[in-house]
Amino acid sequence: MDIRYRIQGGTSLRGDVSVSGSKNAALPLMAASVLCQGETVLKNIPYLRDVKAMLGILEFLGAETSFHDGTVRIRTHNLQSKPIPAELVSKLRGSIVLLGPLLARFGVVEMSYPGGCVLGKRPVLAHVQALTQMGAEDMSSDEVLHLQGTLRPGRIVLPEFSVTATENAVMAAALVEGETRIEIAAAEPHVQAVEQCVRAMGADVEGIGTHTVTVRGRDTLSCVEFTTPSDYLEAGALIIAALVTHGKVRLHNVEEEHLLFFLETLRRMGAVLKYDAKEKTLFVDGELSSLKAVSAQTNIFPGFPTDLMAPMGVAMTQARGVSRIFEVLFEGRMAYLYELEKMGAQVEILNSHQALIIGPVQLRGRTVASNDIRAGAAMVLAALCAEGETTITDVRYIERGYDHLDDKLRSLGAKIEKIEFLSPEEVAAGVTGKAVEVAVKREEVIR
């Protein structure tokens, strides 16, 4: 089934919308349930394809799970560590965060190499090095990740500021009695959530939100109830949606501290924003905003988030002057610019990491593709401010990272429709006639 969005651009977004829980926090928090024997309750979990995929992996390992109204319950009484096949992890890069918890609890972990978005080289070296520094033996092959051994506390020096490697190290150290010091630790909000969660489970954690984290683990941890933080990446995309459509939108459940650099960049760009710390709401006035060119370079937290660079690229097409983007963290993240060019954007790609965007331009509706989760969101934003109708293919990427994005935009006045096409193979398998296009009701979508 090929699911697409059809968007009629040119409508100013108006109204209130709530930001969902963070996918990037939800997946490692679900993995943290492996560390204890009992029931873990996680609240504010977004309804996403990746979340359901992670639940499927946990169920394969013997967990009992439920997901209702944003609350996930994971019961790990009968959990075991066994080889996780490729069909369960090939589409979920986030499954890598099971390495640390499974190894710490069972002394062995084996899985096929995780998949996910194609963002250039994203090796597992940092994960393996972190765990081997704790005493694990690396038995991996070209096809399978395989670590085993009894972990011991000590000092871990990560080879890079890897978010998921930091999460693996923190979770593993939490279940190892003694003190483990993690250097070159990532400090993103979702990493902080994992650190706060294992602390609630009984580990002593110092340095939360810094690049040096000390974990004093225990040989037994308690299952907890924990609330997932809001998704600052979803918030960033919605902010830009309001700006490029010249709308007026109030976002609820926003943590300003998670977006400081991004919001400051937007203010330098001419965005009119007002944050209410008590209510945790952010008002975006796209009518009063007058965007001008800026330069933006991705960096580790609290710098400019790499996952917001593609949406920022769309904002730059509507800004006056020549903007410059510099993606320093990942290869392969410039592909969305070719899709923007189809819509009329004036782009000069300098190399695989840098580009110039000249604006403002009136984007025009076209058929464009989602190359990855964040590029897909950028295409939605471009479609909202484009003239005419845009069709976005490969929506499955978007639905891996954004909780009911189409519904939220529709509540703000966007003219967005979700449609599905039966593939020729599905038609041949039993559907008569040619491929049929049908409207999809939210409750009928298999995410």
**Burial class (CB within 10 angstroms; exposed 0-12, middle 13-18, buried 19+) of 425:** exposed
Assess contact for 222 and 37: CB atoms under 8 A.
no
Residue 7, classed as helix, strand or coil, is strand
CA distance 187 to 178: 22
Query: How many C-beta atoms surround the C-beta of residue 307 within 10 A?
Result: 23
Q: Which helix (H) or strand (E) element contains residue 18?
A: strand 14-18
Q: Provide the pLDDT for residue 332.
A: 76
Q: What is the reported pLDDT for 329?
A: 85
Residue labelled with tokens 């790609």: 349
Catalytic residue among 117, 197, 223, 385: 117
DSSP state of 114: P
pLDDT tens track for 232-246: 999 999 999 999 999
Q: What is the spatial order of strands in the sheet that 137-138 belongs to?
A: 108-112, 144-148, 137-138
Active site residue 197: no
Contact assessment for residue 157 and residue 165, using Cβ atoms and an 8 Å cutoff = no
Q: Residues of 245-254 as b/e, b for ≥16 C-beta within 10 angstroms?
A: bbbbbbbebb
> Taking Cα atoms as reference points, which of 251, 376, 364, 263 lies closest to residue 317?
364
Model pTM? 0.91
Cα–Cα distance for residue pair 48/447, rounded to 1 Å: 6
278: CB partners within 8 A, 6+ apart: none
Distances (CA, A) of 25 to 2, 50, 126, 215, 230: 28, 12, 19, 19, 9
List the chain pLDDT tens, one digit each, 447 residues: 788 999 999 999 999 999 999 999 999 999 999 999 999 999 999 999 899 999 999 999 999 999 999 999 999 999 999 999 999 988 788 899 999 999 999 999 999 988 644 333 347 899 999 999 999 999 998 888 999 999 999 999 999 999 999 999 999 999 999 999 999 999 999 999 999 999 999 999 999 999 999 999 999 999 999 999 999 999 999 999 999 999 999 999 999 999 999 999 999 999 999 999 999 999 999 999 999 999 999 999 999 999 999 999 999 999 999 999 999 988 778 889 999 999 999 999 999 899 999 999 999 999 999 888 999 999 999 999 999 999 999 898 899 899 999 999 999 999 999 998 766 666 566 554 444 444 444 333 333
Q: What is the rounded CA–CA span in Å between residue 10 and residue 17?
A: 19
User: What domains can be seen in the chain, in order of their start residue?
Assistant: 2-20+230-444 (3.65.10.10), 23-227 (3.65.10.10)
Using only C-alpha atoms, what is the Rg of the chain? 22
pLDDT in tens, 343-397: 999 999 999 899 999 999 999 999 999 888 999 999 999 999 999 999 999 898 8
